[in-house]
Structure 1
């Protein structure tokens, strides 16, 4: 049997993260957090771009009117098309803290996470950022805010706070856009790595990257583990469906903190025809 993955983008990202399919431009967006870079890759043409940001960038997502919304060290920023302009939507600097993973909800709001650089317990957070910049903090302790995603019907929200070794699930109130009744969905056993970024497919299955686990896992809607894909890199960070019909699963990876990283650490890998993803939402701001 051949290997499950291919190399989509050979790169040396220190902390590659946040793959997102931009359907309007038919390209993958991903970030290198510690290098303060936003990357794009168009599979149909092979075209790649790189844009520098002024601060460490935890996530970059497409905006409905063109451009990007970015989760930076000191808050949420907006870039115009082709990086032509920048302005802060929300600026809330906290010494020792930075933006981390983020996701756009079906209603077009951004759910953005934070963490401390030293990964201190309780030092992070999760908040809903409305298109007008209104911030609604999610209650509860957060340390390293990571993957966030929604079920196909939008009524469940999945979430990872990495040190908990869990994927949690909320009931998502589509009328009020509130996440309620948090409970464990799946546990990652000790020694298998830490859950990081996640995505939900059209069948309601949850795919998660395991930092220090050298694998991608897929969980059925009832929380049952039903697939494990081993990878050559120790630190896969996140995954997202993209490409034609959203059938290819792209995986970002990291080199940071590894004394002898695998040659593909920092690259973007792809699992061709892994399933079928859900159409993403662009940020409405």
Structure 2
């Protein structure tokens, strides 16, 4: 229904990815084409997943941040800073180059600006980075770890912060790229080894490559209207995996885009960077 979170694990030569609305964790083997559904105790509303350095899963969902044991699927609570905000749920999660976990929240209507953006450091201390967000999406980090990107999807704008990699100190919010008054909304993101930002454009039928100076470099068309997230992986980190969604599409739209809800892969002529594990 709502594919998300493509995350390549080089040691396994597998891609992990999610369905947020029919909550599932998948593991895809490009060599065999096999896609497994993994055992896990999941809530009704999944938001994102990363790994920690012990190989455990950390998921964000409608009740906060949790660890999952990949052998048993059992869940252990970490923290829920929005326990008093039942209208909100967590959405998307990534780890920066020094092992800090970043995640955001959004109103469950995906529009009302009640969301916040958080950072969980290696010691387990949670900091609020930003507030009054419609739907925090797609954290991504420059190759040198000195810049964090995120998008407020309803605002159709990508923002960035300067980061001190050693201390984790975060500078003020800056506008990085503003999309026009069109239907497409920036969603999940990643960076390539040259520092370009790759952005899935929901309702845009494409993913976009944006230069480090914020200028649009190109669009790569995809055969579905709702690409939801992107992540590099495969041999040499040269494949761009693209999750997509069938959520909300009419029967007519699904006939026009039968690959909606599928996991796609593209050769975009760039190499990605391995995503770090959470250091806590």
Q: TM-score, normalised by structure 1?
A: 0.90
Unaligned runs of 5+ in 1: 1-13
Q: Does 1:157 align with 2:148?
A: yes
The answer to whether structure 1 residue 283 and structure 2 residue 270 are counterparts is no
* Structure 1 segment 7-86 matched on structure 2, within 5 A: 14-51=1-38, 52=40, 53-86=42-75
Contact preservation (8 Å) 2:23, 2:45: yes
Moved more, 233-242 or 220-229: 220-229
Deviations 1:154-182 (A, max 9, x none): 11111111112111121111132132122
Check the 8 A contact 1:126/1:138 in 2, yes or no. yes
For residues 97-124 of structure 1, the C-alpha deviation after alignment (integer angstroms, 9 at most, x for no partner) is 2111111111212101111111242211
Which deviates the most, 200-209 or 50-59? Answer: 50-59
Is 1:198 matched with 2:189?
yes
8 Å Cα contact 2:233-2:241 kept in structure 1: yes
Cα deviation for residue 273 of structure 1 reads: 5.2
Name the structure, 1 or 2, with higher relative contact order (CA <8 Å, separation 6+). 1
Do the aligned partners of 1:249 and 1:274 also contact (CA within 8 Å) in 2?
Answer: no
SS in 1 for 2:271: coil
What SS does structure 1 have at the residue aligned with 2:173? strand
- Deviation, 1:184, is 1.2
After superposition, residues 1-285 of structure 1 pair within 5 angstroms as 14-51=1-38, 52=40, 53-92=42-81, 93=83, 94-191=85-182, 193-259=184-250, 260-261=253-254, 262-272=257-267, 274-285=269-280
Cα contact 2:6–2:17 (8 A) shared by 1? yes
Change (3 A) 1:120 1:219: closer
Match of 1:9 in 2: none
1:131–1:283 CA contact under 8 A, matched in 2: yes
Unmatched 5+ residue regions in structure 2? Answer: none
List per-residue Cα deviations over 1:213-256 (Å, max 9, x = no partner).
11100011111111111111110011010111110000000111
Report how many residues are paired: 272
CA distance 1:143–1:226, shift in 2 (3 Å): same
Tell me, yes or no, if the aligned pair for 2:100 and 2:120 is still in contact at 8 Å.
Answer: yes
Shift of 1:284: 2.1
Give the root-mean-square deviation of aligned CA atoms: 1.6
Bigger drift between 123-132 and 153-162 goes to 123-132
